[in-house]
Amino acid sequence: MDVLDLLARRGMPMATMEIAETLSLPKSTTHHLLNVMRERRFVSYWPDQRAWTLGVSAFEVGASYMRSGPLHRAGQRYMLALTTATNETSHLAVLQGTDVIYLDKREPLTPGVRLVTEIGSRLPAHLTAVGRAILSRLDAEQLSAMYDGYSWQSRTGQGPTSLADLRELLTSVRENGYAYERGTTTSGIDCIASPVLTRDRRAVAALGVAYMSATKSADQAREMAKIVVETAGDFSASFGARVDDMPGDENTLGIA
């Protein structure tokens, strides 16, 4: 599993020695594991590069989860409701490490924002509204451990560049009940997202909506934030979360 996770995160071919060194495994053990995984098509070997990538079986498993996972299945109606109510692209994402993975998206029938993110793609959680929405439910120790030694990536020159910056953003997310991303993933595109909670108040995902910055006033964005929070709240209730667990106050929707 560590090998699969590493290849998925790197997104490019890796040599046997590089895999072994990264995972602190003996080269002989790594070579044996890779050959067994190749027989089952979980990895592929490229002789011209002397390197390994994910194989077709890994993608088949991932595609199956995207199609039939309980979270994904449950999210269909709420993404549809959000897109119908806002006429914008909605998306469902989960946290994996310091990244978010986009499980699915729903686009409006009329022309709107087409997200640069494809289903199954990853982005740094600290840059995205969906990521911040989920991170806001972690405690201080969990955040510190997660971002220990982290290299703070930037896509547009904006976004938090330290754990202190991120903590400040997450405080606002907890108070408002939603995260607001302004052009930190793609210039000119904003996103609003709210966490999906379980009975034990854990955030298992985030539900969000993306739109072109120039098309919405601050008041319109606030109204859309209310819809996002309410829809994510309904989604959370389906997992047993109580209304009291839902953060945020419609009078403090902090979009300026």
Residue 168 and residue 44 share a domain: no
- The tokens describing 44, both together, are 């592929």
Domain around 194: 69-252
Burial of 197 (0-12, 13-18, 19+ CB in 10 A): buried
- The tokens describing 17, both together, are 């020695």
- What is the pLDDT, as a whole number, of residue 114? 60
| Helix, coil or strand: residue 92 | strand
Q: What are phi and psi of 60, to 5 degrees?
A: -65, -40
Count structural domains, the chain: 2
What is the model's pTM?
0.72
Kindly state the helix (H) or strand (E) to which residue 208 belongs, with its residue range. strand 203-212
CATH, residue 49: 1.10.10.10
Residue 121 and residue 207 share a domain: yes
Q: Are 224 and 243 in contact (CB under 8 A)?
A: no
CA dihedral 94, 96, 99, 104 (to 10 degrees): -30
Instruction: Output the tens digit of pLDDT for each of the chain's 256 residues.
Output: 899 989 887 778 899 999 999 999 999 999 999 999 999 888 888 888 889 988 867 766 765 665 567 788 889 999 999 999 999 999 999 888 888 989 889 988 876 556 656 777 889 999 999 999 999 998 888 888 888 888 898 877 788 889 999 999 999 999 999 999 987 888 888 999 999 998 878 888 999 999 988 888 999 999 999 999 999 999 999 888 876 655 554 444 445 4
First to last CA, the chain: 44
**Bridge partner list, 54:** 43
Cα–Cα dist 18/28, whole Å = 13
Residue 132 and residue 32 share a domain: no
- What is the pLDDT, as a whole number, of residue 115? 60
Residue 170 and residue 106 share a domain: yes
Pairing of strands 203-212, 189-197: antiparallel
Residue 79 and residue 54 share a domain: no
* DSSP code at position 118: P
- What is the pLDDT, as a whole number, of residue 57? 78
- In 3D, which of 131, 7, 20, 116 has the Cα closest to residue 59? 7
Residue 224 and residue 124 share a domain: yes
Cα–Cα dist 160/153, whole Å = 9
Residue 193 and residue 161 share a domain: yes
**Bridge partner list, 100:** 95, 123
- Report the chain's C-alpha Rg in angstroms: 20
Cα–Cα dist 218/70, whole Å = 35
Residue 128 and residue 229 share a domain: yes
Q: What are phi and psi of 155, to 5 degrees?
A: -105, -30
Residue 126 and residue 198 share a domain: yes
Residue 124 and residue 85 share a domain: yes
| Helix, coil or strand: residue 7 | helix
Cα–Cα dist 236/242, whole Å = 8
